[in-house]
Amino acid sequence: MSAFKHHDMLPTPDHDEQARQDFVASLRGHLSGRLMPGAYQIYERRVAPALRAELGREPDETEVRRAMTREPYYQFWSAMQRRSQEMLWESVIDPTERELPALIDRAKSRAKPAVKAPGAPKALKTSKEPRAARGRRRGSLRLDPSLPLPRYHAAVDIHLQPGAYHTDSTADDVAAGVIYDKGLDLYMGGALGAENGLMGETLVAYVKERHPALRPRRVLDMGCAIGNSTVVWARAFPEAEVHGIDVGAPVLRYAHARAEGFGAPVHFSQQNAEGTDFGSGSFDLVVSHIMLHETSKPALQRIFAECRRLLRPGGLMLHLEIPRGHTVFEQFMHNWESYNNNETFSRYMTHIDLAAEAVKGGFARSEVRVDEFAMQMSVAQMNYAENFIWKILAAER
Ligand SMILES: C[S@@+](CC[C@H](N)C(=O)[O-])C[C@H]1O[C@@H](n2cnc3c(N)ncnc32)[C@H](O)[C@@H]1O
β-partners of residue 267 are: 140, 243
pTM of the entire predicted model: 0.93
CB-ligand 1 contact for 322 (6 Å cutoff): no
For residue 227, the Cα-to-chain-centroid distance in whole angstroms is 9
CA dist 316 and 308 (Å) reads 9
Q: What is the pLDDT of residue 127?
A: 35
In whole angstroms, how far apart are CA 75 and each of 69, 79, 333?
6, 6, 12
CA dist 167 and 267 (Å) reads 21
Long-range CB contacts for residues 18-27, cutoff 8 Å, separation at least 24:
20/87, 20/90, 20/91, 20/94, 21/91, 21/92, 21/182, 21/186, 23/87, 23/91, 24/84, 24/87, 24/88, 24/91, 24/186, 25/186, 25/189, 25/190, 27/80, 27/84, 27/87
Residues in CB range of 137: below 8 A, 6 or more apart: 123, 265
CA dist 301 and 305 (Å) reads 6
Asked whether 254 and 176 are in contact (CB, 8 A), the reply is yes
Distance 131 CA to ligand 1 centre (A): 33
Ligand 1 atom having least distance to the Cα of 200: 8
Ligand 1 binding pocket mutation candidate from 246, 306, 337 (most atoms within 8 A of CB): 246
Q: Which amino acid is at 44?
A: E
Domains with residue ranges and CATH for the chain: 1-397 (3.40.50.150)
CA dist 64 and 51 (Å) reads 8
CA dist 60 and 40 (Å) reads 16
CB-ligand 1 contact for 230 (6 Å cutoff): no
- Can you give the C-alpha Rg of the chain in angstroms? 21
Q: What is the pLDDT along the chain (397 residues), one digit of tens a residue?
A: 578 999 999 999 999 999 999 999 999 999 999 999 999 999 999 999 999 999 999 999 999 999 999 999 999 999 999 999 999 999 999 999 999 999 999 999 998 777 655 544 333 333 344 444 556 789 999 999 999 999 998 899 989 999 999 999 999 999 999 999 999 999 998 889 999 999 999 999 999 999 999 999 999 999 999 999 999 999 999 999 999 999 999 999 999 999 999 999 999 999 999 999 999 999 999 999 999 999 999 999 999 999 999 999 999 999 999 988 889 999 999 999 999 999 888 888 888 999 999 999 999 999 999 999 988 777 766 766 666 889 999 999 9
Ligand 1 atom having least distance to the Cα of 248: 25
Residues in CB range of 72: below 8 A, 6 or more apart: none
Q: What is the pLDDT of residue 375?
A: 84
Q: Identify which of 42, 221, 80, 47 has the alpha carbon closest to the alpha carbon of residue 139.
A: 221
Q: What is the pLDDT of residue 347?
A: 84
Q: What is the pLDDT of residue 120?
A: 42
CB-ligand 1 contact for 149 (6 Å cutoff): no
CA dist 204 and 375 (Å) reads 9
Considering only CA atoms, which residue is closest to atom 24 of ligand 1? Answer: 223
Distance 222 CA to ligand 1 centre (A): 7
